[in-house]
Structure 1
């Protein structure tokens, strides 16, 4: 509580960022956001969150509910459902049910809070290895009448022989559209976008800076903007030298019509040497994307190298610096060749985490259950320690305060969404993954009067 209040009073954010994210040790038990078991009925054992410092990839963590003390409100955290295999993205259906992607290549539906044991069939073949596979999905704005959904995934090159190792395969990011009637089969499945970011088949070109394997950094988050256009994050595939080249889709945010064609108002339409789908450039691995309708801002979270994970507000035609500018350090220890921030021609992040916070998806809270959180940024965070980050946005659009929640659950948090009911929903990216629901906790009962003496 003091930490949040002190930040609002003007405590330096740089120091807070270092204190909050630089330590790779568990927080003390009574810190804000630590888990506290909810009150239970007489004779019922109280569920407890795992202790801080338990293994990074824990076993199933109990059934809850838990009570969490945030800076200004007590929260109830419930488990909606378990049994998901590395869930990555979710979308709310008109009746409140949920569609969920599992990274290994399955589409699941949660009906009335219960995970349907039968996956939805009809998905295309996917390239699944490392952290690639089935990523995000969203509903068409007119889903109630046209039943269309959009989803992103990684795909191997069409000429890849069956049985070829993923390490010997070119792959790229794809967005497809399908019709779903609520049953167990997709219909009218077709690709509407294939990124010009094919990469992975040996022999690979020499790369600088100790970058990671070709099987990573696909991006794959989706959003729809105020004009009804589809926005797509396309990661750099750990080939950062490609990112500042506008003739490809490596390390870009892309914008297309819902049928896959290119909007005429995209910033580089008709410009020689530029892919017309490009909306912004200079990204590494954008694992979060959210369009905030009331402000018209497009928020993005981005996984950096060693440190330098970012939260950005994306502007039309903007260049966000990668691989030439980053506040992180390359994996071989080199610094960015053009600097860390304030470099002419590049847009600085709203926030950079020193070191990595391993950000997942991002959202802006606009629900009714937490009035004091209206306009706050929510970030699913996967490490140091895993947590749900809540950030207060100031009048100038900058982050002025930040707190971490759920960290003692010790679960990698991949996705965060605000439900139509105003609750906050979080996906845990684990082999035994779950959906969590966060609501205001009931007021505690009044203390019993003191016995007369």
Structure 2
């Protein structure tokens, strides 16, 4: 395994200028355009758009970058904690805090080395930019997977600020499926913590001792997408199945979502997983894919660049290299439409932009950030 330690800050010359070429696509009666704004990124995992229009980007190998709104220049951010970049691990999600304008606070997740191997961790820091240099200050790890293991699979991970100022953190089972049913193990769970890393008193296991107090839900395989539904304030997640059985869930406090006891997929060998597709005490998914699309980023579209999509749920796919547009009503998926299949690469992260557009990144060696907007 390779451990990447970032120290110091450097201004990087843009190896690829912003791309202004616009491609028009059609989905049903809707015409929309896709424009690449940032190029020459090395496996970008998470990104967010800051209030000034610049991009905060995590490259999986361990670099955090600030990229100018036009994509022409970038600054490497110093002070990133030690990252174990191996397999599916690395520097993962990143999001600006809702009060970023006042506090300069960001949240991010990463694969953290430690005794026994590696585990997912979530941290917060202040992003300070002065004189063309950028630095993380007051870095604090908010939660760290309590059992670190070898292997490079199933780290998750997303970090999502909730309307009540708590944070949801999603974790994978680290390729050791039975851990997802252990309530004293972080693996395969959704965590809910306060912004300072403390335990919210209304967490389902905050006082009972039946599970770790930060656990919100268990029985998940590898959650790589998460988003808050604007109308309800509820968390939605999307997680990888094995051979089939990718799932969308709305995780509720204290509930068990079944992995690996129930699943709509099969093991890669073709053998059945657990006892089948349902069993008492385990929740059913809101939606699932069989065969798998390998879902990753997730966002509810709130913009007005393509008004007919407002309120739809968008999910990026790695294996099938597409964006799934899902119409939602009363907590259910009512229709699905596939966009951009095979045209741009592995879709990793989706974000709403302050310009009303929907943005996405591609998880490639020459990855980029793209803007989806309306077309005449």
Secondary structure of 2:102's partner?
helix
Kept in 2, the 8 Å contact 1:288–1:359? The answer is: yes
Kept in 2, the 8 Å contact 1:109–1:115? The answer is: no
User: Once the 2 structures are TM-superposed, how far is the Cα of residue 373 of structure 1 from its aligned partner?
Assistant: 1.2
User: Whole-Å Cα distance in 2 between the matches of residues 410 and 328 of structure 1?
Assistant: 27
Q: Which residue of 1 aligns with 2:215?
A: 278
Q: Which residue of 2 aligns with 1:100?
A: 57
The 5-angstrom pairing of residues 67-78 of structure 1 reads: 67-78=24-35
Q: 1:47-87: per-residue Cα shift (whole Å, max 9, x none)?
A: xxxxxxxxxxxxxxx87321100123111110011011111
User: Once the 2 structures are TM-superposed, how far is the Cα of residue 94 of structure 1 from its aligned partner?
Assistant: 1.3
The one of 38, 44, 47 aligned to 1:90: 47
Greater Rg by CA: 1
Is 1:153 the counterpart of 2:88? The answer is no
User: Whole-Å Cα distance in 1 between the matches of residues 140 and 331 of structure 2?
Assistant: 39
Kept in 2, the 8 Å contact 1:240–1:323? The answer is: yes
Q: Which residue of 1 aligns with 2:155?
A: 218
User: Whole-Å Cα distance in 2 between the matches of residues 189 and 69 of structure 1?
Assistant: 44
**What stretches of structure 1 of length at least 5 have no aligned partner?**
1-61, 160-168, 201-213, 443-453
Return the TM-score normalized by structure 1: 0.76
Could you say which structure has the higher strand fraction? 2
User: Whole-Å Cα distance in 2 between the matches of residues 261 and 115 of structure 1?
Assistant: 40
Q: Which has the higher contact order (CA 8 A, sep 6+)?
A: 1
Q: Which residue of 2 aligns with 1:398?
A: 332
The 5-angstrom pairing of residues 330-369 of structure 1 reads: 330-341=267-278, 343-369=279-305
The one of 347, 356, 366 aligned to 1:413: 347
**Number of aligned pairs?**
355
Kept in 2, the 8 Å contact 1:225–1:293? The answer is: no
Q: Which residue of 2 aligns with 1:116?
A: 73
User: Whole-Å Cα distance in 2 between the matches of residues 331 and 273 of structure 1?
Assistant: 33
Is 1:142 the counterpart of 2:99? The answer is yes
User: Once the 2 structures are TM-superposed, how far is the Cα of residue 410 of structure 1 from its aligned partner?
Assistant: 4.5
Q: Which residue of 1 aligns with 2:138?
A: 188
Q: Which residue of 2 aligns with 1:173?
A: 120
Return the TM-score normalized by structure 2: 0.91
User: Whole-Å Cα distance in 2 between the matches of residues 263 and 349 of structure 1?
Assistant: 26
User: Once the 2 structures are TM-superposed, how far is the Cα of residue 115 of structure 1 from its aligned partner?
Assistant: 4.8
Secondary structure of 1:242's partner?
helix
Q: Which residue of 2 aligns with 1:39?
A: none
The 5-angstrom pairing of residues 287-302 of structure 1 reads: 287-302=224-239
